[in-house]
Structure 1
Amino acid sequence: MHREHIRPMLLVLAAIIVGIAGWSGHVLFLPIALAFPIVWSLARTRLAAAAVSAGYFLAASRGLPQGVAAFYSSDLWPGLLLWLCASSGFVLVHAALWTKRARVRPFRYLVAALLMAVPPFGVTGWAHPITAAGVLFPGWGWWGVIAATAGPLGLVTRMWPAVAIVLTGFWIGSAATWDEPKLPEAWRGVDLEFGASLGRDVSIERHRDLIATVKDRASGGALTIVLPESALGFWTPTVERLWVNALQGSDATVIAGATVVDAGGYDNVLIVISTGGAQILYRERMPVPGSMWQPWRPLLGQSGGARAHFFANPVVSISTTRIAALICYEQLIVWPVLQSMLEDPDLVVAVGNGWWTKGTSIVAIQRTSAEAWARLFAKPIVFSFNT
């Protein structure tokens, strides 16, 4: 085999290893993703850069085909198709902006990173290396975002070994002092193991089980209890009365996922419930493309699908507490959390319904990504997932 063929193959292999290791679901491994800019810059042709980008992205999102197959109770083909389609934006951007010119390369990579962080390409901007900022520069806030943006620019120059050594030093220092995420006082996140039945079982018995869980947490001193995405199922006046009445005589406030349906489609939301009543607290900005958000439906004269409230409600409030809410898919991409952090919330609430990801690392990646962002901005975080 010719030498010019071996080099691209080795670079693709390296990109795959970086994608698997960096996005393994262990938060301290996130900085490995910063090796992707190095591998990308070492490509000698645009085709090689495209192959490297595809190897990294597909490896990082490797759990998607299996998860989609579980969600739709089908074989792997729909998941494989979605997997390949989702990678196309990442590959297109990084292939189009690749260049042989060393002086221009940092600027080109910066443009690629920005495009993958915001819509429209940012809608599928998973596995963004900048997520490692929370591990490398915990507590730095926006200075950490700047540092994590500047670092990869140095990694695509000939000085990348020196830049890599500096970043590794920050990584080691952070790992040596890493501890569990801070939990805000009197807040409790509830993890459930109801599988696919959560949100689909709308029986009175299921609601009573959830109410009993909430009261149990409240008896332990929690004042605000968070339940996962879709925990309440369809939000109706009957469900509202049931929960408000059940909380009478309690000081507890419940935040729980639900679905609000109308003739045009539905919203994936968080509801806040207390003895004084209930209301929609947060509407998801970016539902899962394809399975939930289906923007082609109106073009075909069809209704249905989840609405995307792209830049709405970045921060919501309960009493005097300002919250950055992230539902499921929003934890995998960049712009929702950065948009929220522009308004300096008091804490982060990250919820999900990941029963369909069983056997994959998707939920672990969601949690580590949200944890890294919370750590970057020194915000307490509350998790609540169903598996």
Structure 2
Amino acid sequence: MCRDYLRPLLLIFASIAVGVVGWSGYMLLLPVALGFPVLWSLARTRSVAALVSAGYFLAASRGLPQGVAAFYSSDIWPGLLLWLCASLSFVVVHAVLWSKNTRVRPSRYLLAAVIMAIPPFGITGWAHPVTAAGVLFPGWGWWGLGFMTAGLAGLATRIWPAVATAFAGLWLWSAAIWTDPKLPEGWRGVELELSASLGREAGLQRQRDIIATVRNAASDGARYVVLPESALGFWTPTVARLWTGALSDSNATVMAGAAVVDPRGYNNVLVAIDRKGSRILYRERMPVPGSMWQPWRFLFGESGGASVDFFANPVVPIGAGRAAPLICYEQLIVWPVLQSMLHDPDLVVAVGNGWWTEGTSIVAIQRAAATAWAKLFAKPLVIAFNT
């Protein structure tokens, strides 16, 4: 009787440990997340498989309650509710697809992995183990993704120790020779520490301060300067004229986050500005569900919230090349970056405004995920965050 309870408890605690360590924000620890398909496949009942899935996902996304509380300046209960609701899709998919038949478990897990990588379930497909492909197969591109996908299925079979041993060898080799993605020549990502005031303080002095920061970067030889999400606040004709005028004597091009208001709500965008003018360069494909994207408003005939462009503008032209932009939440899920890589961009640009994540590992996880994808496809990476 004791053994009947001990095995499930060990699997659940192990899944929690895998979620905590794998998604700690340390790049080279991402492969720890590959322990999840092993633990899921070792479950002997559907309920244990569900609890293993819940333990992994809740541990991996443990920073959400505190982050939501900071974002809304409220107590922790709304964050806890969102945390539990977000885990529901992950748990349901993995519980439904679990099978007593060990022969079909690998294909079932592979199907679950695919479902959690693409919409609609992929909208909350955080902590996807496939992200570790960038650590195990740096530079292998789509081949690396294919090997990782096959390996995930292999980890759900009886020969998982052999697959895990092979992955461990690749992991050690990668760690020994690891180098971060290179910064593209002439590009500069600007890190800001303006906390919650970024994007909310609309005064002229704030714009002038950021302009001065850009000019300093340009004076050091940067031809393309990237600013974090929401760096320019609301994008208006007045702000556009101010920035275009400020860059009239510069050869630099600025890529910066802003918000564009429309009758339905707003768009979270990246704008490109140079001495010749400005334009909206990129519209965020997947804003944060709940806090930004609020689809229920449409059902009640209300406006507000961020617009979604799901599969729009996966790459954007900038200078003589093409960039794959990833704004904040898009760095935590799978399909936006894979859609962008289908178009073979010249570089990846990852921006965010993570002031609300203080005391959590969320920003570190975003950086690690963006770096892993850039390494997998051997793309230069520019990162710009506000904290």
TM-score of Structure 1 vs Structure 2, range by shorter chain: over 0.9
State whether residues 181 and 378 of structure 2, in contact with CA within 8 Å, keep that contact through their aligned partners in structure 1: no
Q: Counterpart amino acid of 2:330?
A: E
Q: What residue in structure 2 maps to residue 71 of structure 1?
A: 71
Letter in 2 for 1:286: M
Aligned counterparts of 1:305 and 1:198: Cα–Cα separation in 2: 18
Distance 2:15 2:366 in 1: 21
Partner of 1:374 in structure 2? Answer: 374
SS in 2 for 1:279: strand
The superposition leaves residues 147-170 of structure 1 with CA deviations (integer Å, 9 ceiling, x where unpaired) of 110001111111000110001111
Match of 2:34 in 1: 34
Secondary structure, counterpart of 2:119 in structure 1: coil
- In structure 2, the residue matched to 1:99 is 99
C-alpha displacement at 1:181, in angstroms?
2.1
Q: Distance in 2 between matches of 1:139 and 1:155?
A: 23
Answer whether contact 2:180 2:371 (CA < 8 A) is retained: no
Shift of 1:7: 1.1
Instruction: Name 1:340's counterpart in structure 2.
Output: 340
Distance 1:320 1:313 in 2: 17
The equivalent residue for 2:255 is 255
2:135 equivalent in structure 1: 135
| Distance of 1:171 and 1:40 partners within structure 2 | 22
Q: Which amino acid aligns with 2:111?
A: V
1:80 Cα deviation after fit: 0.2
> Greater CA deviation, 267-276 or 94-103?
94-103
TM (norm. structure 2) is 0.99
Within 5 Å, give how 1:81-230 maps onto structure 2.
Answer: 81-230=81-230
Q: Which amino acid aligns with 1:150?
A: A
Q: Say how many residue pairs are matched.
A: 387
Letter in 1 for 2:160: W
- Specify the SS of the correspondent of 2:312: coil
Task: Give the equivalent residue in structure 1 for 2:267.
Answer: 267
Partner of 1:52: helix, strand, or coil? helix
The sequence identity of aligned pairs, in percent, is 71
Aligned partner of 2:306 in structure 1 is: 306
SS in 2 for 1:214: helix
Q: For 2:229, what is the secondary structure of its paired residue?
A: coil
Pairwise CA distance, 1:263 = 1.1
CA distance in 2, matches of 1:167, 1:313: 35
Amino acid aligned to 2:9: M
Contact 2:40 2:49 in 1 (8 A): yes
Cα distance in 2 for partners of 1:253, 1:384 equals 15
Q: How far apart, CA to CA, are the structure 2 residues paired with 1:250 and 1:169?
A: 50
Shift of 1:61: 0.2
Counterpart residue identity of residue 124, structure 2 = T
Structure 2 distance, partners of 1:168, 1:308, is: 39
Shift in Å, 1:320: 1.8
Gaps of at least 5 residues in structure 1 are: none
Alpha-carbon deviation of 1:16?
0.3
Q: CA RMSD in A?
A: 0.6
CA drift of 1:247 comes to 0.4
Would you identify which runs of 4 or more consecutive aligned residues in structure 1 move more than 3 Å? none
**What is the CA-CA distance between 1:194 and the residue it aligns to?**
0.1
Q: Which amino acid aligns with 1:294?
A: Q
Give the TM-score taking structure 1 as reference length. Answer: 0.99
Q: Distance in 2 between matches of 1:12 and 1:297?
A: 37
- Tell me, what secondary structure is at the counterpart of 1:266? strand
Q: 1:60 matched to which residue of 2?
A: 60
Instruction: Return the alpha-carbon distance in structure 1 between the equivalents of residues 230 and 43 of structure 2.
Output: 44
Aligned-partner Cα distance in 2 for 1:167–1:65: 33
Structure 2: which 5+ runs fail to align? Answer: none
Structure 2: distance between partners of 1:345 and 1:69: 37
* Counterpart residue type for residue 319 of structure 1: G
> Which amino acid in the other structure matches residue 229 of structure 2?
E
**Residues 312-334 of structure 1: per-residue CA shift (max 9 Å, x gap):** 00000013210000000000000
